[in-house]
Structure 1
Amino acid sequence: MSTTSATSTTGVPSTPAPRAVLAGIPAYVPKPPAPPAEGPSHRLFLNENPYPPLPSVRKTIAQAAAQTNYYPTIHPERLTDALARRLDVPPEHLVTGPGSVGIYQQIGQALLEPGDEVVYAWPSFEAYPIVARMAGAVPVEVPLVDGVHDLDAMASAITPRTKAVFLCEPNNPTGTAVGTAELERFLDRVPGDVLIVLDEAYFEFYRSPNAPDGAELYRDRPNLVTLRTFSKAYGLAGLRVGYGVAQPAIAEALRKCAVPCGVGRLAEEAALTALRVEAELFERVERIVAERERMREALLGLGWEVLPSATNFLWLPTGEASESVAQEWERRGLLVRAFPGSGLRVTVGSPEANDLLITAAKEISPPAR
């Protein structure tokens, strides 16, 4: 048997070629800001919950860790049943994945084909162009207007080639929301053969009486998939648990594309316990919402422009100054996310971190509007 590698006509050893489409796909996770050389740093760039899991959840994780020599079930059946009871939906309407982004990958595999168009607002969740391009589909990006979804423009962007619409409500990275009435009008304009993915990753932080509930909206809309996650409000980002609700035909297709055992035993057990202690967890959500509003009012009072937020982060439309302002905060140990030429996304952190950010904002001149 020969052990030599095949060579090209240039004499260079040949290797298997990745799909050409990958060359145009950006990395999903950006390089995190560099922590300061000295002193503590605060992670305010990934929309993480600043509080660790509750003691009861940590106890569950420790107990489940003793069984990690066993495979989890192919699909997390106990969690599926618990979510079905929690949402009052049939279990066969539920899908799960390693975070909601895992379900996006299932959507790409199950429903998108080369040449299909995918409509979404921009800037929005950074997975959208990646999911579309990975499937060979064509991203159709519709600019936000004042940081908010332009639903009329999105509806107008739908063509006979459109296969899916991705809609983040509230939106990441701007934190803005359109509300139930406008959302329903938009949903009713989308053709029935176009999949609508309603991303409610920040559902629990949306405190307006006008907040939509995708777990209700999907019931009479066969083309609607609603996605949620345990990463944000439930504080389980490190365990990767997401879920979605959809009508049976769509849900079954997504389950077929799920990675077997994609939600591990620790993740399932932690999510089950988190559901049982929701009341205690949501006290923390209320604290985060209160801190969000305190931060926004303080920054507005210092002359910064800050959009209203329905999430666990704030959006500062700092334009061309975004990177330089982010660097000023980073030097003070506050790691925020800069979107070059657009703005800054600042996660609501612990009260201590938020106080430091407000203090730093007094020392940094806000960009001219």
Structure 2
Amino acid sequence: MSHGLSPTGAKILDANDDGLVAGHPAALAKLMSDGLLVPCTADRGTHRMTEDGWTALGAWRKQNPGRSAPADAPGVLPKLPGRQHEAVLAAARRTDQRVPGQDDPACRAGEAWFRGSTLRKIAASGYATIRPEPHDKSEVTWEETGRPLYLTEAGRLYARQRGNIAVHRRRVVVIACGKKKLPAPGVDEYGNPLPDPQAGDLYIGDYHRSLRAAADALTDSALIFIASALHGLVPLDRPLHPYDVTLKDEEAVAPETILWQAAGLGLDDADVIFLGGQDYAALLLPSVPHLLAPLAGGMGEQRGQCARARDNAGIREGWWKKAATLHDEHAVR
């Protein structure tokens, strides 16, 4: 069967990713009516090329040598095939910069996700990478582990150049925990334990709440972590049972735990601000040497500094510039 491809149809087929294509619905409908595509039920929003589709693309490439690989401007990264391109841009639009795969909780909420073949190619390109875990005995790859992929600096550069997305290193804020906490939740009328509060709600002291208010002004809540004397680095949405442990206690979190938590959170690839006392800063610095700790003085003075940062965008941006400089300085050491 012979098919004359339109310029739009040829562009769509030429950008295929292992036979998967995406594009404008009207153009896809035309290609389907010509028998060049069939819907791909395993990957939302995409279609798969048929044998006739491959034949038509091969004929078009022969008739248009050089058209399938347009020259890029100097310094501009080559454009990835369709689904790989979309996956990098999807990650760049996310707060956590994770490339969404089928196991991503967001996909269960209806967001787009990408097949393993696409993730494998993005990992191989260096545009995304996995994060280490404590049991790793040596450096491992995505193909060996299937762990979530997160954008690298190269991936962010690609998104800026090819997607016009203003994505940069994540801006992470760590805040100290607090002594004053909610009481234990107890049990319901049937004697069943009530759920523990989330970490973001557990600490109710004025000092901690001032740190949290400043953190909320500095970054997205998904990028705020609490430095717990017992648990280490904790996201705001993690349930925590009330506890009474300080850094001086035997049960306090070990520095080695902080090291692995920081690695697992990818803090080496983030600008990081810490809000809290010097004892917690000293605990974090060996694992996050580029940490910026801008607060000084006693608790009352620090509460005032947090209030000013909360209300003054100039102060906040000044802190982030210092944090970025610290990161860059440590990156070249």
Q: TM-score, normalised by structure 1?
A: 0.21
Normalised to the residue count of structure 2, the TM-score between the two structures is 0.23
Higher strand share: 1
Between 1 and 2, higher relative CO (CA 8 Å, sep ≥ 6) is seen in: 1
